[in-house]
Amino acid sequence: MELSRYLLECPGDGRDMAPAIEKTLQAHSACLLGSGKYYVSGIRMPKGSYLAGLGDATQIILKKEVTDGAAVAMDSYCTVKDLTVLGDETVDPLNTAERLPLLPDAVGTRHGILFRGTATTKDWMHQLRNSVVENCRMLGFSGGGLACIDTGYNINSSLTVSDCHILLCGAGIYIPHYSEYHKFTNVLCSENLFGCVNNGGNNVFVNCGFNANKTGFLVDNRDGRAVNNTHGSAVGCTFNHSVGNAGVGIALYGVSWGFVFSGGQLGFSKIVVENAAGVQFDNMNFLHTVEIAVKGPRPVFFCGDMFFKKPVVTLSDGGAVRFCDCFTVDGETVDN
């Protein structure tokens, strides 16, 4: 196939390019975007299609009048790579200190890249199938820079994401409920309201950064909607410098099935765990003096961890922590 058949150049006149991109994808199952700003009302990718650009030189911009939707909506077996996806083209990523106070109070409905099914209960069939996002930057969305919603519990309804940077969004990664088996590697989520909202099960995060967000990493089942939450892991991830070094790096509410944080780092951020079961931090490096608040009847486990100083632990409503082979940098034992 000649490159010209699926290469789409930017006209540069601000028109809605979603119809032209969709037409190219439907005709050739692939669309390569040249450099420039592509304004869209929302691209709906057909099954088995491939959308790519030239990195930061290719900008997909969701039009302002779209209040509920996504710049790019993926179907089954889709690939999106090498794109910059913007919800607000006026955002200056170098001026994050000024932008953070302007973040929304809750996650909104304008998303960057969306992987969405129709599951609202424990559905296994007829959902989206495995898709891929690589080397993209998502910036300035009220919702999720990358959102996985209602894709169900099927092991084949998963999204694989690598080498992306998401900032200044309602949530860097947004998984509200009923969405599982996603894999995230080398994804940086910074200066967002939430670095990650992970209310689905079996999701794994490797070498990801959730730094300088208002809340770094959240699991929240207080409303009872995320009943099949967690039973996943974060390996080699960082949760540092939350909201001026005084915010929450990890917040877990109503965790039903356990979650493991392993081999990572948390500093200048708090840990809050309420009414959660099977939460464990192992072989972690804790910088500065970490504040740990635990509420509820089940203990939180810290195993083989290194603390710069002994943590400040606050317990309520029967909460407990268990330290095993944990030490400070001065060799003091951190005990219960």
CATH classification at residue 76: 2.160.20
* pLDDT at residue 12 tops 70: yes
Question: Does residue 109 sit within a domain?
Answer: yes
Q: Are residues 253 and 183 in the same domain?
A: no
Same domain, 224 and 313: yes
Strand duo 159-167 + 248-253: pairing: unpaired
Q: Tell whether 281 and 330 lie within a shared domain.
A: yes
Domain that holds residue 12: 1-198
- 97 within some domain: yes
pLDDT band at residue 257 under the 50/70/90 scheme: confident
Could you read off the pLDDT of 272-291 as tens digits, one per residue?
Answer: 999 999 999 999 999 999 99
pLDDT at 124 over 80: no
Has residue 22 been placed in a domain? yes
Looking at 198, 228, 246, the residue that finishes a domain is 198
Q: How far is CA 3 from the centre of its chain?
A: 34
Mean pLDDT taken over the chain: 93
Domain boundary among 134, 166, 198: 198
pLDDT at 130: 95
Q: Are residues 226 and 307 in the same domain?
A: yes
Q: So what's the pLDDT on residue 173?
A: 98
Is pLDDT larger for residue 89 or for residue 81? 81
Q: Which residues contact 14 (CB under 8 A, 6 or more apart)?
A: 39
pLDDT above 70 coverage of the chain, percent: 95
Residues 132 and 250 in one domain: no
Residue located via tokens 């967000």: 213
Residues 134-161 have pLDDT tens digits of 999 999 999 999 999 999 888 889 999 9
In this structure, the answer to whether residues 131 and 271 fall within a common structural domain is: no
**Domain tally for the chain?**
2
224 and 185 assigned to the same domain: no
294-312: pLDDT as tens digits:
999 999 999 999 999 999 9
**Is 302 part of a structural domain of the chain?**
yes
Q: For residue 2, what pLDDT is reported?
A: 64
Q: Does 268 fall in a domain?
A: yes
User: Is 193 within a domain?
Assistant: yes
Its sign, for the CA torsion 128, 232, 268, 105, is: positive
Kindly state whether residues 193 and 63 are assigned to the same domain: yes
Q: What's residue 102's pLDDT? A: 66
Q: Are residues 30 and 110 in the same domain?
A: yes
Say what the pLDDT of residue 7 is: 92
Give the residue from 104, 108, 103, 46 showing the smallest Cα distance to 72. 46
On the question of pLDDT at 1 being above 60, the answer is: no
Distance of alpha carbon 8 from alpha carbon 31, whole angstroms: 7
Among residues 214, 46, 44, 192, the alpha carbon closest in space to that of 113 is found at 44
Together in a domain, 43 and 135: yes
pLDDT recorded at residue 100: 62
Residues 162 and 17 reside in one and the same domain: yes
- Confidence grade of residue 95 (pLDDT, cut at 50, 70, 90): low
Instruction: Give the pLDDT mean for 123-133.
Output: 81
Residue 35: pLDDT above 60? yes
Judge if 36 and 102 occupy the same domain.
Answer: yes
Is residue 148 one of the residues assigned to a domain? yes
pLDDT digit string, tens, across residues 156-203: 899 999 999 999 999 999 999 889 999 999 999 999 999 999 999 999
**By CB neighbour count within 10 A (0-12 exposed, 13-18 middle, 19+ buried), where does 312 fall?**
exposed
Q: What is d(CA 153, CA 122) in angstroms, rounded to the nearest whole number?
A: 6
How many CA atoms are closer than 13 Å to the CA of 44, on its beta-carbon side?
A: 3
Q: How far apart are CA 105 and CA 88, in angstroms?
A: 17
Domain assignment present for residue 215? The answer is no
Tens-digit pLDDT profile for residues 210-253: 999 999 999 999 988 887 778 899 999 999 999 888 899 999 99
